[in-house]
Structure 1
């Protein structure tokens, strides 16, 4: 994954969405409420689909769950407790105004000195175990991605989550692209630093814009995006069809802001 060159996933959409743990085989529940139906409909024009991961496509915060899990398995309960305390401290600091982008960088620094191969293997093991839960994926979002894929639209997962976790989800749902920062390495271990900006807020929009630039035949107005948090709005506003995913899994369309003219400042 890279902020410069989007990485292709190793599975095609036709293979990636069936027979994996936690992936429902039937259509997702119908979205409810009085808002217009946000389910994708084909226009016959090429498009790209951008989707956040945590609490948009899957119900949990993967990076938050994985940090104490890893340290419990490989360093013991004391380090797992310290990881949990770090996460609680970051949550409090964000509530008091720490930018989410900075909190994301601090989170990744907790991985300094960890062996890359061990971390990647444990991330895949965590995903395989965690995704066995029947409610791991949000059915309405997964069903929407399947409809896009059936229409031939490539899917890009855009996330500031821990990169090895993002890859596990990308491969399972058959997404075409994984968009996020890369982990800096020093030989076989992680340095705790990111290469590129965190994929949060404007960082997500930058990744979306970069991928769109690689597909000049695709009109952003024909593209779709899914998110769950106000920090996803820059990404959602970059395309013509945007959907906000609520805590209960329901989908609500998001309108693009009106263009600001010179007279409006």
Structure 2
């Protein structure tokens, strides 16, 4: 079977894209205001109701011209610099149970390879399906294929089940945000992580499992 895991604020306790960008800009010698300006712009878009997948696309436009190999190196250093509180312990415990049972572990995220590759290696994920930036001559163009957000996660989970040849009704998925609803609805065993009010209402109405974060 397959166990699907959203990453940010589900498998890990932070938003990887923001954390990585702050780290990368500081490492590159940018003033602290550069990150604050970018983050404020993205948050203002969210406050105006801009769709989450469009905000995801906007993030990658700030990285236009960056070398993919340099970003991969920065991602490994970013991950190594994080402390042990990066991961949500209860979600990781659930992941380990799935792995021990022989389930395939698939990570799905709107984040990208510098963040996801070291996380996937640390938890022993079989597949990682993130947002894929377009490259030209080894550099990010600033554009992406399909943001791995919302409906895209549900489509990816259904496709993965077909490729592996397992019934979706026997698969499990973990998510923390209302945008993970298509993923959770694509499997027979959805698990809501945290206290998103929309997902919590769905869990109560449909008898879904809830996984509360560990106490600080």
Work out whether the TM-score is over 0.5: yes
- Aligned structure 1 segments of 4 or more residues deviating by more than 4 angstroms: none
Decide which of 139, 147, 159 is 1:189's aligned counterpart: 139
Say whether residues 1:60 and 2:9 are aligned partners.
Answer: no
Could you tell me which runs of 5 or more consecutive residues in structure 2 were left unpaired when the two chains were aligned.
207-216
2:210 counterpart residue number: none
- Aligned partner of 2:180 in structure 1 is 232
State the distance in 2 between where 1:174 and 1:102 align. Answer: 30
Cα distance change on mapping 1:255 and 1:199 into 2, 3 Å: farther
TM-score by length of 1: 0.72
Deviation at 1:160, TM superposition (A): 0.4
- TM-superposed CA distance for 1:197, in Å, is 1.0
Query: How much has 1:162 moved relative to structure 2?
Result: 2.7
**CA deviation string 1:180-208 (max 9, x = no partner):** 222211113211111x2111100111111
Match of 1:204 in 2: 153
Say whether residues 1:219 and 2:173 are aligned partners: no
Contact 2:18–2:39, Cα closer than 8 Å, also in 1: yes
Q: 5+ unaligned residues in a row in structure 1: which ranges?
A: 1-46, 258-265
Taking the aligned partners of 1:230 and 1:121, their CA distance within structure 2 comes to 32
| 1:254 CA displacement | 3.3
Which gives a bigger RCO, structure 1 or 2 (Cα 8 Å, sep 6+)?
1
* Aligned match of 2:2: 48
Q: Which of 75, 91, 111 is the aligned partner of 1:123?
A: 75
Alpha-carbon displacement from aligned partner over 1:122-175 (angstroms, at most 9, x marks no partner) = 111100111xx2321111100000000000001000000132211111111001
The 8 Å contact of residues 108 and 128 in structure 2, kept in 1 or not, is answered as yes
* Distance in 2 between residues matched to 1:220 and 1:256, nearest whole Å: 20
* Higher fraction of helix: 2
5 Å-filtered alignment, 1:89-100, equals 89-100=41-52
- Mapping 1:125-204, distance limit 5 Å: 125-130=77-82, 133-194=83-144, 196-204=145-153
Q: Which residue of 2 aligns with 1:241?
A: 189
CA distance, structure 1, for counterparts of residue 148 and residue 204 of structure 2: 22
Structure 2 distance, partners of 1:226, 1:245, is 7
Following the alignment from structure 2 to structure 1, what is the Cα–Cα distance between the partners of residues 39 and 139? 22
| Matched positions, count | 203
Q: Relative to 1, partners in 2 of residues 1:141 and 1:204: Cα closer, same or farther, differing over 3 Å?
A: same
